[in-house]
Amino acid sequence: MTNFLPLVEQFHSLQGEGYHAGKSAFFVRLAGCKVGCSWCDTKNSWDEKKYPSISIEKIIDRIKIAREKGASFCVITGGEPLQHNLDNFCKAIKKMTMGEELKPMKIHIETSGVNSISGSYDWITLSPKRHSPPKSYFLKNCNEIKIIINEIEDIEFAIQIKKETLKQYHPSKSEDGLKKEDKIFYLQPAWNNANGFSLAIDFVKNNPDWKLSLQTHKYLKIN
Ligand code: SF4
């Protein structure tokens, strides 16, 4: 278990994508990703050697400030954050106390699901990749699934992932009141890809069990 993590950036903003879009959130972007998506919009995060290893305590200090200012949850993202063991980091976030009236801060993670799970989360966003499919743990335990759409093969992949996910359901209720069987399935067009937008919109129009997710932070030109 690590007490230091390679940090690309951390910032307080609004969640731009998925079920929690529009909510105040604090983001911790960790460096390191071996998945290698050609269309990745955070390629700068791939090489963890380019970034300093920061102590968990230092990262937590910034999370505390954001929490005081209104961040309702912490999103751990990357890169592929689960390339690192996050047990200690998640424990430290949960232990963080700002005042007796506040509950432990919720932790969200955004992952491609290729690594083993470490840490514990209130919300798991699984963004599986066609060329590097996720472990079944994530299909079973994620809260939302977000497939990035560039081309028609991504739609076929989305259909296949949903079938595999449905086989993994084990109903139970989360704090948000959503049941595990209420997993939310999103298609998210790749940014600046007109073909991806048109494919995703057509598919969602004809398949009401899927929803469209947009990178609203990019339209708003915020982090
Ligand atoms: S998994 Fe995410 S961070 Fe890694 S290459 Fe793919 S899009 Fe980029």
**How high is the pLDDT of residue 182?**
78
More confident residue, 2 or 75: 75
**How high is the pLDDT of residue 97?**
66
**How high is the pLDDT of residue 51?**
98
Distance 33 CA to ligand 1 centre (A): 6
Q: Is the dihedral of CA 209, 37, 150, 27 positive or negative?
A: positive
Domain boundaries, the chain: 4-219
Give the pLDDT confidence of 125-145 residue by residue, as tens digits: 999 999 999 999 999 999 999
Are the C-beta atoms of 92 and 60 separated by less than 8 Å?
yes
Are the C-beta atoms of 29 and 78 separated by less than 8 Å?
yes
Q: Is the dihedral of CA 65, 57, 143, 114 positive or negative?
A: positive
Give the pLDDT confidence of 65-115 residue by residue, as tens digits: 999 899 999 999 999 999 999 999 999 999 986 665 667 899 999 999 999
- Using CA positions, which residue lies closest to atom 2 of ligand 1? 79
Rounded distance, CA 199 to CA 213, Å? Answer: 13
For a mutational test of ligand 1's pocket, the pick from 35, 41, 45, 83, i.e. the residue with the most ligand atoms closer than 8 A to its C-beta, is 35
Which CATH number among 3.20.20.70, 3.40.50.1000, 3.40.50.9100, 3.40.50.2300 corresponds to the domain 4-219? 3.20.20.70
Grade residue 150 by pLDDT with cuts at 50, 70 and 90.
very high
Rounded distance, CA 40 to CA 128, Å? Answer: 13
According to DSSP, residue 50 is labeled G
**How high is the pLDDT of residue 64?**
92
Q: Is 79 in the pocket of ligand 1 (CB under 6 A)?
A: yes
pLDDT at 188 over 90: yes
Bridge-based pairing state of the strands 4-14 and 53-55 = antiparallel
